[in-house]
Amino acid sequence: MRSELDEKGPFRSGFVAIIGAPNAGKSTLLNQLLGEKVAIVTPKPQTTRRNIKGVLTGRDYQIIFIDTPGIHRPKRPLNKLIVKSAIDAMRDADLLLMLADISCKKGVEAALSLVDVIRENSRCDTILAFNKIDMVKRETLLPLIDLFKDAYPFRAIVPVSARCNNGMGRLVSEILRSLPAGPQYYYDGSCIVDQGMDEFAAELVREKIFLTTREEVPYSVAVEAEKFDKGRDGLIRIKVVVYVERQSQKGIIIGKEGVGLKKIGTLARVEMEKRWGCKVYLDIWVKTLKDWSRDKRHLRRFGFGD
């Protein structure tokens, strides 16, 4: 990703938290900015559960993006911890990038409701990105710009379409104008994400569960990569365990004669092989861990909370 500031001025760097309501398109935006899939994406809200750092490095800059879970009113202990992680990222960032889904009234209202969250939890500048402009008429943009300008002193408002890869260059340029001169935090040019291959494998399996199951099932799932090994033969062997909260959910994921689990495994394995350029043996087990999303011990085990 290049910008008009790519070869000018001092080296700029900083941490940019991507915030927004659920389903605003934050993970899609991060993937487009980095030119590679590092965060799972589904049409369902609250897919992202953890903050993911993605590193964009140019000749004279390095931006560490933090993809955060959608900010909403949480009810379950799991969701409270998920929202807390997004708030923590806001407080630690050098710049906020707020994403607003302007394709529908609900998305606009959800974005406006986050203004108070920003006021309460951040002192840094905020850039607003109007996402999904490919789904709205151009004449609707100016009234929306006026609406958000009246709501908060955003440093800039940039129309984009993360799905169509539209407006990314201008967005990066606006971010660089807002970042100070600073050091290069990551010196390995190949490093663009802070999660390991085992973590990405677990997330891919969870993504496929989101895409192939309905209602409450995907929200009751935790996924761990218990074993990850790359042999001398180049074959990657992965054992993934899917935890559900009720026995009935286990049956839904596995499906009749294992058809559901086979589909999930095939979709995840094919994507892993394409991503890593090698053969993958993926072994998925499904286990019941009753009400794990409400139990502090289990939440800590899966990396949620202190």
Residue 162 and residue 236 in one domain: no
Structure tokens belonging to residue 293? 């999303």
- Domain-embedded: residue 149: yes
Residue 36 and residue 157 in one domain: yes
- Domain-embedded: residue 4: no
Residue 136 and residue 278 in one domain: no
The amino acid that residue 255 corresponds to is G
Against a cut of 0.85, is the pTM above it?
A: yes
User: What total of structural domains would you count in the chain?
Assistant: 2
Cα separations in angstroms, 245 against 113, 179, 212, 292, 294: 32, 44, 18, 6, 10
- Domain-embedded: residue 52: yes
With contact defined as beta carbons under 8 Å apart, do 20 and 71 qualify? yes
Residue 225 and residue 261 in one domain: yes
| Separation of CA 272 from chain center | 18
CATH of the domain at 231: 3.30.300.20
- At residue 176, φ and ψ (nearest 5 deg) are -65, -35
Residue 140 and residue 236 in one domain: no
CATH of the domain at 30: 3.40.50.300
Q: Is 7 helix (H, G, I), strand (E, B) or coil?
A: coil
Q: Which residue range(s) make up the domain with 65?
A: 12-178
pLDDT digits (tens), the chain, 306 positions: 544 444 457 999 999 999 999 999 999 999 999 999 999 999 999 999 999 999 999 999 999 999 999 999 999 999 999 999 999 999 999 999 999 999 999 999 999 999 999 999 999 999 999 999 999 999 999 999 999 999 999 999 999 999 999 999 999 999 999 999 999 998 877 778 888 999 999 999 999 999 999 989 999 999 999 999 998 888 999 999 999 999 999 999 999 999 999 999 999 999 999 999 999 999 999 999 999 999 999 999 999 976
- Domain-embedded: residue 297: yes
Residue 285 and residue 230 in one domain: yes
- Domain-embedded: residue 184: no
